[in-house]
Homo-oligomer: A and B are copies of this chain.
Amino acid sequence: MEPAGLRSLVEAMAPDGGTIVARLFRALREGVRSGHLEPGVVLPSSRRAAAALGISRNSVNAAYELLRAEGLVAVDRRRAPVVTRVERLVDPAGAAGEGPALSARGRTQCGDLRTRLYADASGRFRPGAPDEPLFPRDLWARALRRAARTALGPMRAYDDYAGAPALRRALADHLRRERGLVVAPDDVVVTASSQAALSLLAACLCDPGETVLIEEPGYLGARAAFETAALRVAPLPVDEAGADIEAATGRTGARLAYVTPSNQYPLCTRMSLPRRAALIAWARAARAVVVEDDYDGEFHWRGPEAGAMQPLAPDAVVYLGSAAKSLLPALRIGWMVAPRPLASALARAVRNAGCAANVHAQLALAELIESGAWKLHLRRVTRTYETRARLLVEAIRAAAGDRVEVALPPGGLQLSVRMESLADEAAAVAGLGAAGYAVARLSGFSAGEAPVAGLLVSFAEADGPRATAFAAALGRSLGPREGRG
């Protein structure tokens, strides 16, 4: 290779950025990789290269040394460097195939159960996320800024895997006051999400092949966590009074039951006290654990102080909560309340699994809880969501009341619309999908043979005109009720 070629190579491959050593190195590396410089090509000596580039020989030698360290050139003493054949390693033709394959369990780990719910998940009114305009951006921005300027000490690194002490204190206080929990800061474990908590509980409390119960119909995130942990998932039937342990034929030998007592997902009903008592009695007798997912416990407008099950049996219930609904899922903050010895074990599991939450988000949330700002925020958004829920329920009744059953949920961000048949469900999903709505099919939450038909619909963004437009689209999708006489 001629020195002049080196110069144009640098200009073409590394026109800017960094020192001349770095640029020369990058240009030559790119030259080799792209095939411009084939194995056996002799590079200019450092003296000639330095002259051509107008730089020092030391710089050229430094770049050549980097190339040598990467194995791209061979440098014999006192001879010019030669492009080696090692670079063939990178040739895709040298690869054995299409890259690493998933393990058998990896196919479950990398699965997507939500395809059961949506033909196309990209539309409006999809359940799950809060309305972005209600996120208190400025409040959060200021709290984050203060958190970032806080001296972290041991929190900065790999201690405090149970969560930032300030957040554990604030959450314990909040949950005791607002949800009636029996909880001290040491019982709280903060994770990157409720989903992470579910994954940890599945693995830490159950061995592969053991049985766990999930509400039927029930939350697919829990199903994904349990299937990922190689557990056998058995149904825990749900009716208007909530999950019914007596009706769960697979309960014998089950290690864990996953429930959403304060707002059943996806049916939006509340579990009755006798059902709660029966579930706890079963758990105690079976030495099983009840996992109570209180995913939207801050948003209930029907009996805001009632609803959590953990206070009835803090020894047998692991309680899950999250900032996903009250603030944003993308904050990736969830929490568990677990009986004490389990809580400290789970904190070590958080470390081993690497699913801890960002420290600044934790400190910002702690500050908002402590200052009372979170409570004010919750009141505001709860009012807004209740208004939207009522609007949507009324609009749906007006537009399709003869074809569907819809009730005001106890709280949260979504409501269920029950239908008589899977045919109606399919018609509604198709019609609404064509109109740009990504509602979830209720039948997709069932694993059994008699799925509940209908829709799960978010009202998070359902202000007046949007609620009416949605209801009209639903009515059009279903058409008029067929005559019965």
Contact = CB atoms under 8 A, between A and B. Distances in A.
B26 A192 contact: no
B152 A132 contact: yes
A284 B94 contact: yes
A394 interface: no
B26 A177 contact: yes
Contacts of A130: 156
B155 A148 contact: no
Contacts of A12: none
A31 B329 CA distance: 37
Interface string A149-163: 101110111100000
Nearest to A302: B69
A158 B208 contact: no
A95 B316 contact: yes
A90 B348 CA distance: 28
Contacts of A340: 99
A284 B98 CA distance: 11
A203 interface: yes
B352 A228 contact: yes
A105 interface: yes
Taken together, the copies of this chain in the complex come to 2
Contacts of A357: 192, 332, 358
Given A195-B353, A200-B109, A318 B100 contact: yes
Contacts of A109: 200, 203-204, 348-349, 352-353
Given A110-B348, A191-B354, A26 B305 contact: yes
Interface residues of A, number: 127
A345 B228 CA distance: 14
B352 A111 contact: yes
Interface in A171-207: 177, 180, 182, 191-200, 203-207
A331 B315 CA distance: 33
Contact of A356 (B149, B192, B306): B192
Contact of A312 (B90, B196, B284, B329): B90
A328 B150 CA distance: 13
A247 interface: no
A140 B150 CA distance: 12
Contact of A103 (B153, B196, B205, B354): B205
Given A103-B206, A353-B228, A95 B361 contact: no
Contacts of A450: none
A346 interface: yes
Interface stretch (A232-240, A273-281, A380-388, A396-404): A273-281
21 contacts: A71-B276, A89-B312, A90-B313, A100-B205, A100-B289, A100-B316, A103-B207, A106-B204, A106-B349, A109-B203, A110-B346, A111-B348, A140-B148, A157-B329, A157-B330, A192-B355, A192-B357, A196-B353, A330-B359, A331-B358, A360-B361
